[in-house]
Structure 1
């Protein structure tokens, strides 16, 4: 079968290719560039803890040495500390990393991936769709025709794929504008990110942000006033010197200026993310970034969501409801993020009015900004797919856990089928569902002693009869769950449902719906057989354990 064509070799395109490879799907990545990302220390990104873990899993290497997990967060207003956050096991830190560094690490993983082909200096100029696949043409030194099963545009804000499909990209231009500098210096808060609002010096502006990087490097961002003049090199140096002096008791410390730039934030959302066999992801589908929200972080989530659905179509044939759910889930979540930022912007940047003088307003503003920068609240928290068409109908068999259905599961330690102890996240993205049994005490006994005891035989048979490959894991405990709770998890780590004990019919129905089957009509979805839920023949022969 033809590979998936991915247009764009940025972090999102490379992540999608690597994710598809984990699902056993080949891909070809077309990029018009030379494949050598330009080192730009001032162009960085912040990944929330679970997204950073996804990137590390795809890269096949830890990213902690490539970027930095912040030790803490500090918010200042004038000279007053408004809020401090210390990161640790109960509150994992986000990862701050240069974009070219992440791209390089993912590119190295692509070079090692047997199922990924990278074609450089290949500029897309046409797409033709047919019932059985996609034909794309590129021009340049390696201009040729490419044949694929599907095509995904990960080619950025000026996406050629989006333009060829004539998809509108409405929104707002220039929502916020920042002067940016990357420099090496010693600041008073080693390892901490600092947001300073209304700094008490002349060139501080209304807000300045300092975010640490490895090897003593910092990225500084100054929020520029609307319709301000161009930032000249001389003006930026003056801003740097005055800001460093303001933070270092009036004395400008020695510093090495590494990179500068001006960053403009746009808010845009593509009308459609799917047209037949063509999809959009990352900046090609959405632009956001005001108030600390992170576009690349959302783009990696796009890739994770789309990869397993494309893999199912590639391995088992098209299922329109499953493929449509990519747009339904991801576009709704990004749209909600954009609405939250647009609603908060007049409050935070309005520059006056009664609300700005109400008691507690400054702390409320600080909380909103912290949400965006630290990945919490409406501006930053990982999204949930509770309202997704892939969410099963409520069932009396369901059990409560600390994870709401549709949300990301907690990364607990689990026992794999070979008896090894691994992290739950490490078992995701492998072209299969994941079923987790909460069984206290199993961690202290060898697997052979409990794998055939208690409810395990019935659960194992139920998992074997599911309409899609699934892996059965066992954990000692899960937040908010009681013993013998069974969790059904999608390949992208979102909880489908949790059940009290072994509930074969309910487990089968939930899996069927999560794969795009109609939760009311009884359509089994792709690759399934509705009869198996009633004890008929499924993948396990005569439905062992499903009675």
Structure 2
């Protein structure tokens, strides 16, 4: 069968190709550039813990070696500390995100691609034609080696000005210049080593109403200043003045610093009307632009790749139902639309025009919490998305039980015992296109594996797992949040919880696996994307009907 054609060699395109390779699917990555990226310290990415684990599992060692994990998130208002959120590994603490320069992330993904035997990257290849038929796609590239390429599917990961999206004639509705930020990367010492900071209404208001400081490795910090709407161009002298005023405000006097890079980041909010047209798909900035109030564009793009890869792999190896392929758009577009809708509804309140709201006691603290949530990874602006109404949701039966994770949400990263007896994290078993079946069996950790494998419910559960219509792996856990003993959890290949059962229920487990592969289903189905459906309301982007042009430029987080 022909390989999958991935258009674009940014982090999203490379991650998609690597995820397909991990599931035995070859791909051709068409890179419009020369095959290498110029280092830009000011362009960084914040990855939530589950996405950092996903990228690391693809063989990208730079996430571990060059990414910074924060000690805490500090929110300040004027001269007062509003809250401090500690990051850590204990259940009482929020897991730390990973902050990494985007060029380091891309380099790590390129190194992993070079070590893979199933990914071919073709530099200096600009797409100019895309044609589809019942068996696959044909694309033509211009450039020194311009030629036709044949693939089974095509995925446009080619950024905000996506050629794939234009060739598919898909509207990219939304708003331009939602926010503007002046950005610098510098090396210095701040009073809060390893802690990220959001400072609203600082006493030295000459530098603006809001500034964010986020640490990287080796004493490097990224600083962002929110610019007023319709502000004039930021001159080098004005930017240096912001740096000196801000550092002096935090440290008492301006400490020594080394300026590494500068830029101006313009945030656009846009959402593609469709993410799938027959055998062609959109991912990353080609499908959506966001970034106001701490939302992370690249993190969302990598979630696109994680969601789409196992579905394309299933289609490539075994064929797939339209329900399974359509579910990519239904799930991911709805999740991103909800982020955009929340941000668009919050911006008028948080960025002025609040009127009497600013005088209501407690309102300021609530506003600060909302702004911080997007950065910290909580709430509607920052928490990992759930897909409770996915068409892949298994039909409800009396055997289903509630656990600490909602249906469609990412499963908790618990310790599990693998078939080879190794104790690993649940996330370590993802990425291979397999379902994970987890038995909650307290006390198994004190017994030798050879004893409990043949005891109790294990033989019956092992037989049920071996009969499932998708490849599946049986794991055992001492406990799971909110789950009783002998509960059985079904986790999708992308780590989202599909179902939880009270004990071993072979028939219900089989039906749930059928639903996950799109052959049966119970959730609220989205509009099909094979023809003209949108898979979600355009209300998620304010002013969507008024702007159909393509947003210019990629942001510093993009």
| 1:367-406 superposed matches below 5 A | 367-406=369-408
What residue number does 2:84 align with? Answer: 84
What residue number does 2:420 align with? Answer: 418
Does residue 1:11 correspond to 2:14, yes or no? no
Which of 316, 326, 333 lines up with 1:331 in the alignment?
Answer: 333
Normalization by structure 1: what TM-score? 0.94
What residue number does 1:479 align with? Answer: 481
What residue number does 1:51 align with? Answer: 51
Which of 185, 195, 203 lines up with 1:182 in the alignment?
Answer: 185
What residue number does 1:284 align with? Answer: 286
Distance, in Å, in 2 between the alignment partners of 1:386 and 1:492 is 14
Which of 123, 126, 132 lines up with 2:135 in the alignment?
Answer: 132
Distance, in Å, in 2 between the alignment partners of 1:145 and 1:220 is 44
| 1:156-167 superposed matches below 5 A | 156-167=159-170
Alpha-carbon offset, residue 292 of structure 1 = 0.3
| 1:82-481 superposed matches below 5 A | 82-89=82-89, 90=91, 91-249=94-252, 251-481=253-483
Distance, in Å, in 1 between the alignment partners of 2:55 and 2:218 is 22
Distance, in Å, in 2 between the alignment partners of 1:25 and 1:461 is 28
What residue number does 2:521 align with? Answer: 519
Distance, in Å, in 2 between the alignment partners of 1:446 and 1:61 is 34
Alpha-carbon offset, residue 170 of structure 1 = 0.3
Q: Which aligned segments of 4 or more residues in structure 1 are displaced greater than 4 angstroms?
A: none
Distance, in Å, in 2 between the alignment partners of 1:123 and 1:398 is 50
Structure 1, gaps ≥5 residues long: 522-547
Alpha-carbon offset, residue 61 of structure 1 = 2.8
Alpha-carbon offset, residue 63 of structure 1 = 2.0
RMSD: 1.2
2:248–2:254 contact (8 Å) kept in structure 1: yes
Distance, in Å, in 2 between the alignment partners of 1:142 and 1:203 is 53
Q: Deviations over 1:527-546 (max 9, x none)?
A: xxxxxxxxxxxxxxxxxxxx
For residue 428 of structure 2, give the secondary structure of its aligned residue in structure 1. helix
Relative to structure 1, the CA distance from residue 51 to residue 327 in structure 2 (aligned partners, 3 Å threshold; closer, same or farther) is same
For residue 59 of structure 1, give the secondary structure of its aligned residue in structure 2. coil
Distance, in Å, in 1 between the alignment partners of 2:428 and 2:24 is 16
Distance, in Å, in 1 between the alignment partners of 2:450 and 2:388 is 37
What residue number does 1:501 align with? Answer: 503
Deviates more, 1:444-453 or 1:492-501: 444-453
Distance, in Å, in 2 between the alignment partners of 1:67 and 1:520 is 40
Distance, in Å, in 1 between the alignment partners of 2:382 and 2:522 is 34
1:490–1:496 contact (8 Å) kept in structure 2: yes
1:123–1:139 contact (8 Å) kept in structure 2: yes
Normalization by structure 2: what TM-score? 0.92
What residue number does 1:524 align with? Answer: none
Distance, in Å, in 1 between the alignment partners of 2:254 and 2:350 is 30
For residue 306 of structure 2, give the secondary structure of its aligned residue in structure 1. helix
2:179–2:292 contact (8 Å) kept in structure 1: yes
1:128–1:136 contact (8 Å) kept in structure 2: yes
For residue 389 of structure 1, give the secondary structure of its aligned residue in structure 2. coil
Distance, in Å, in 2 between the alignment partners of 1:86 and 1:70 is 9
Distance, in Å, in 1 between the alignment partners of 2:374 and 2:60 is 28
Alpha-carbon offset, residue 65 of structure 1 = 2.6
Distance, in Å, in 1 between the alignment partners of 2:448 and 2:302 is 37
For residue 206 of structure 2, give the secondary structure of its aligned residue in structure 1. coil
Distance, in Å, in 2 between the alignment partners of 1:260 and 1:55 is 27
Distance, in Å, in 2 between the alignment partners of 1:179 and 1:223 is 7
Alpha-carbon offset, residue 62 of structure 1 = 6.4
What residue number does 1:530 align with? Answer: none
Alpha-carbon offset, residue 203 of structure 1 = 2.3
What residue number does 2:30 align with? Answer: 30
Structure 2, gaps ≥5 residues long: 524-558
Alpha-carbon offset, residue 447 of structure 1 = 1.5
Distance, in Å, in 2 between the alignment partners of 1:334 and 1:352 is 26
2:396–2:522 contact (8 Å) kept in structure 1: no
Distance, in Å, in 1 between the alignment partners of 2:68 and 2:384 is 20
1:126–1:136 contact (8 Å) kept in structure 2: yes
Distance, in Å, in 2 between the alignment partners of 1:34 and 1:302 is 25
2:348–2:354 contact (8 Å) kept in structure 1: no
Structure scoring higher RCO (CA < 8 A, sep ≥ 6) equals: 2
1:198–1:204 contact (8 Å) kept in structure 2: no
Alpha-carbon offset, residue 60 of structure 1 = 4.7
1:203–1:243 contact (8 Å) kept in structure 2: no
Distance, in Å, in 1 between the alignment partners of 2:25 and 2:44 is 30
| 1:64-83 superposed matches below 5 A | 64-83=64-83
2:68–2:99 contact (8 Å) kept in structure 1: yes
2:511–2:520 contact (8 Å) kept in structure 1: no
Alpha-carbon offset, residue 64 of structure 1 = 3.4
Alpha-carbon offset, residue 352 of structure 1 = 4.6
For residue 203 of structure 1, give the secondary structure of its aligned residue in structure 2. helix
